[in-house]
Amino acid sequence: MDKLIYMDNAATTRVAKQVLDSMLPYFTEYYGNPSSAYTFAGRIADDVLKARGRIAEMIGAKEREILFTGGGSESDNWAIKGVADALKDKGNHIITTKIEHHAVLHTCEFLEKHGYEVTYLNVDRNGSVDLNELENAITDRTILISIMFANNEIGTIEPVKEIGEIAHKHGVYFHTDAVQAFGHVPINVDELNIDLMSTSAHKINGPKGIGFLYIRSGIKISNLIHGGAQEYSKRAGTTNAASIIGFAKAAELAAKNMDETIKYESSLRDRLIKRVTEEIPYSIVNGDLEKRLSNNANFCFRFIEGESLLILLDQNGICASSGSACTSGSLDPSHVLLAIGLPHEIAHGSVRLTISNETTIEDIDYTVDTLKRIIDRLRSMSPLYEDFVKKNREASK
């Protein structure tokens, strides 16, 4: 298989050449432990501090508010478990949504087993939370609101600023999982009323296994990873200098090219959505068409199942993902697609295509042309399609 059309950039991205180059010296030349006393290590600590500063500046934060972690999942775990523990005398109620990433959902479920109460907010057909429902859910026991910045499956961007306003009006902390949003949309933590924010490097052409949790100064939070005094004594573990340097480089490139990337990706995404919905019958776009990540397109194709679609796309060199049960490793299709009101059978026939600034118009057209062929084929094998066609034929008689 020669052709490779990578349409799964929400899963992970290619490490940019400049990012890799920035990291390499820290493996073999500047390999010292930044916590050590000698000059050889101190220089690395300085580089890490500069990297921290560049990232902080990008989101309008202070250096000390950027705490590097092992990635998005750890950041989510830390934010939620850390606040839950630190504020356990104040309350035991957490508000989140039904469409969060499992790093948030499963953390909340874990806390429920330990005496915490969690409200899982509904979302509308487009995946947006209802601000009234949010405000009504707040009680005097509420300690944390955790709502994602942008959804990883359907790309919908939540009303983060308004959510933060409501949280602060009631004296509740606001955490946002911004793994899909950081580096993709402009974020200023003060303007958006964010207290805690999870991010990950590998979604923005950085390395895997590194992320940060933004923690606003003054926020009460317990540590998750105990041990050494790294990360201002908040997160133990030998400083991952190479990855931090790479992350900062990736963030810098993302910030520098953001406007251009959004413009470019949006035009490709819109072409993809337009062609698919116009040329493939019985297809639906999931997610908000306006408040949406520029790299995300998510479709449901009636009468077919997502995993078989993915295999056929793969055989044509296209990497995509699906919310079908067989790809999620459970019996249920995507919790996000169910939460926006899709029936199981339709949710099973979903495909997510996430592009990057490397995607070309030819890639988009090839993908659409391939989808058309594959969907025709799978429908010709589908008993649901057969029934549908027969029913229509009956009705038109």
Interacting residues toward another protein by CB under 8 A: 302-308, 310-311, 314-315, 324-327, 329, 331-333, 341-346, 348, 380-386
Measured CA to CA, the distance from residue 144 to residue 134 in angstroms comes to 12
Judged by beta carbon, residue 250 or residue 374, the one nearer another protein is 374
Judged by beta carbon, residue 167 or residue 371, the one nearer another protein is 371
Concatenating the DSSP letter of every residue in 187-222 gives --TTTTT-SEEEEEGGGGTS-SS-EEEEE-TT----
Judged by beta carbon, residue 369 or residue 387, the one nearer another protein is 387
Give the Cβ contact number of residue 121 at 10 Å. 20
Judged by beta carbon, residue 172 or residue 320, the one nearer another protein is 320
Give min distance, CB of 75 to another protein, in A.
Answer: 23
Distances from the Cα of 312 to the Cα of 306, 316, 370, angstroms: 10, 6, 9
**Alpha helix locations (H) across the chain?**
17-23, 25-28, 39-58, 72-86, 102-112, 131-137, 160-169, 230-233, 241-279, 306-315, 325-328, 335-339, 344-347, 361-380, 383-396
Judged by beta carbon, residue 22 or residue 308, the one nearer another protein is 308
SS in 3 state form for 260-275? Answer: HHHHHHHHHHHHHHHH
Which of 108, 300, 319, 326 is an active site residue?
326
- For residues 167-201, one letter each, b for 16 or more C-beta atoms within 10 angstroms of the residue's C-beta and e for the rest, the string is beeeebbbbbbbbbbbbbbebebeebbbbbbbbbb
Give min distance, CB of 259 to another protein, in A.
Answer: 35
- Based on the residue annotation, tell me whether 319 is a catalytic residue of this protein: no
Which residues are catalytic, by number? 326
